[in-house]
Amino acid sequence: MNNPNSRDIVYPSLFPFLNRINPRLFFILIFALQLILIFQGFDLSDEGFLSIFYRRIFSDPQSVSYNFMFWLTGVIGGVWAKIFSPLGLLGIRLGGVVINTMTVILTYNLLKKYLHPEYLKIGLVLVVLCLNNDIKILNYNTLSSLFYITTVFSLYSGLQHNQIGKIFLGGFIVGLNIFIRAPNILELGLVLGFIYHYFLFPEFGNHLLKQIICFFLGFFAALIAVLSVMYFLGHFHIFLESLKLLFTMGKAERVRDITENSYGLSRLIFIFWSNNVQSLKYALFTSGTVLITIYLLHEIRVNLRHGKIIANIIFSILILSVLFLIITHWISHFVVLFFQTGLILLTSAAVLTSPVNKQVKMLLFFGLFFLVTFPLGSSDGVFTAGRYCLWIALPVIVDYLLSIRTVRNVLVIHRDKQEFQKKLWFTENQFATTKRTLVYLLLFAGLYQLYYYPFFDRRDRSEMHYALQSENLKGIYTTKGRALAFNELLNESRKYVKPNDFVLAYDHIAMYYFATNTTPFLSNSLPSVYSAGMFRADLDSSFERNRILPAVIMQKIGTTGDASKWPEEILPGNYAENVSNLDRNLILDTFLIKNNYKQVWENVAFKILIPGKTNENLK
């Protein structure tokens, strides 16, 4: 076996201060970096969708039945939310920080024997910065990452030492992970890792079949255990209904739904393919530009009078240009994410085919599997899920690239009877400068984008010092306009709804339920993810089940994506006539007209409607 720590001696330090930070201090700093972020930013959609799930999963599971496709996420989040209930949303965000830090610790311990400690820390920091404006609360993506790394930790040790118990445990954790997020069932494909391990280490071939059997035994044991707990809690029937709904969402209702339905199989495959192609384009373009620039600057230094001064001026201009593109958001966090994903895919080919430590190849295989399969179950692929699956692959690739000292090649061109030769090489000093510069640029981009905005609150953090008037949102600060608009809604809606009352919050404002302790009228607190047919079915079944007409809280403007600077900046056009929502809006309008709803209040962002018919007449 190769000496995994030999590189500590061979390769000079690029960032000496990292070597002076011991692992415990490093983990504390990672925790602190994330902790200071949870007090700012206010998102009405995804965080509300999960927060109300955690609040209601044990007390009123039917009201959040849609979320049961993430059942184990709800159980973990529900227990955490109960423990930290005095902190409200801030407590659930603290859970997200804890989960991410645990993932950092596990990944570090998984890789520390095989990677340069300095480069490993850089890789992990870059992964954390990729989560710069993610959903801060404990959620199914961060939990999936933690469970996956735990799985790999167990499987890798089990395969290396033929420990059947650890392989069984790995299969068991995979079985748990599909209840964190249903598409995690793709992790059954980790059996390919067993075959790759046999390819790398043929001496373990006699154990291959037994290892695969134990893996699946662990998986089925987890299924039995989880379903038993579900049955005991009275959640089993609700879970089955949520799975039926998930399969329905995966089917296109009409031909045009193949591209419009966020969870249609054809669309998911299309997104997966296009995202990876785009990632490779970013990586190829950037890598090619860097290499050409290094070569040209070298030629200028060598062949021109005052070449060193000229090259330094050009280099400085290029760096300032990149910084300008970052500050003006031309290089966004998505651009950085696609570049890093593409770089992993490109460099992995070199790692897997070069004389690299076999253990590193095995670990990279697990990292690549996560990188490729995890975005497959997400509505927007790499855009929404790509940042959560870099944990193993990015540190390994960073270590490989930062360990490259020189590149030498000779370009030979034969034309007629003439031959032209050009030596192409990059010195160790050139590579060291380039590596430092690229890492510093990536760190700057991550920190700047982290500061600039959190998730769907795309504002400078210096503007976020206005409180929200809800006991459940204490300690959370946002911009003056957003705080004012939502606080007005909270104050006015108290005239019409009380805690635990049914409310229909439409269509991307699930946080209203959590802020007011009200009950979702629909089984899904975020009806914006529904197709028109599914929305109609849920609206009708909820009315039949509850026999009550709820107060309706509606948003008048967009609040997500490009509209995330509301209300200071409102996207032009009538939000109610948004093409993607139009069919669903017509169904709601029909329901409102049929039941004589009338508008009783509005502000710049929201409006409140109450029914004309009395609920007593409906019973």
Structure tokens at 521: 């009228």
Instruction: Check whether 253 has a pLDDT greater than 60.
Output: no
* DSSP of 333-371: HHHHHHHHHHHHHHHHHHHHHSS--HHHHHHHHHHHHHH
Question: Could you identify the residue written with the tokens 């993430």?
Answer: 70
Structure tokens at 425: 């090489």
What pLDDT shows up at residue 251? 56
Which has the minimum average pLDDT: 296-305, 497-506, 544-553, 602-611? 296-305
Give the C-alpha distances (Å, rounded to integers) separating 539 from 170, 240, 545, 584, 618. Answer: 41, 19, 10, 11, 16
Q: Which of 173, 172, 179 is nearest to 140 (CA)?
A: 179
What pLDDT shows up at residue 382? 67
Helix, strand, coil share (%) of the chain residues, nearest 5: 65, 5, 25
70 near 180, Cβ under 8 Å?
yes
Average pLDDT, the chain: 87
468 near 515, Cβ under 8 Å?
yes
Q: How far apart are CA 158 and CA 170, in angstroms?
A: 9
Over residues 13-30, the pLDDT tens digits come to 777 777 788 999 999 999
Q: How far apart are CA 506 and CA 527, in angstroms?
A: 7
DSSP label at residue 40: B
Q: Which of 606, 263, 291 is nearest to 438 (CA)?
A: 291
282 near 386, Cβ under 8 Å?
no
Whether the link from the prior residue into 380 is cis, omega within 30° of 0, is: no
Over residues 148-206, the pLDDT tens digits come to 999 999 999 999 988 999 999 999 999 999 999 988 999 999 999 999 999 998 887 78
Q: How confident is the model at residue 410 (pLDDT cuts 50, 70, 90)?
A: low
Structure tokens at 363: 């670990």
- Residues sharing a CB contact under 8 Å with residue 118, sequence separation 6 or more, in sequence order: 13, 14, 15, 18, 19
Q: How confident is the model at residue 260 (pLDDT cuts 50, 70, 90)?
A: very low
Over residues 357-409, the pLDDT tens digits come to 899 999 999 999 999 998 876 666 667 778 899 999 999 999 998 887 776 66
Query: Which secondary structure element, helix H or strand E, spans residue 21, and what is its range?
Result: none
* pTM for the model: 0.90
Q: Which of 412, 385, 615, 413 is nearest to 496 (CA)?
A: 615
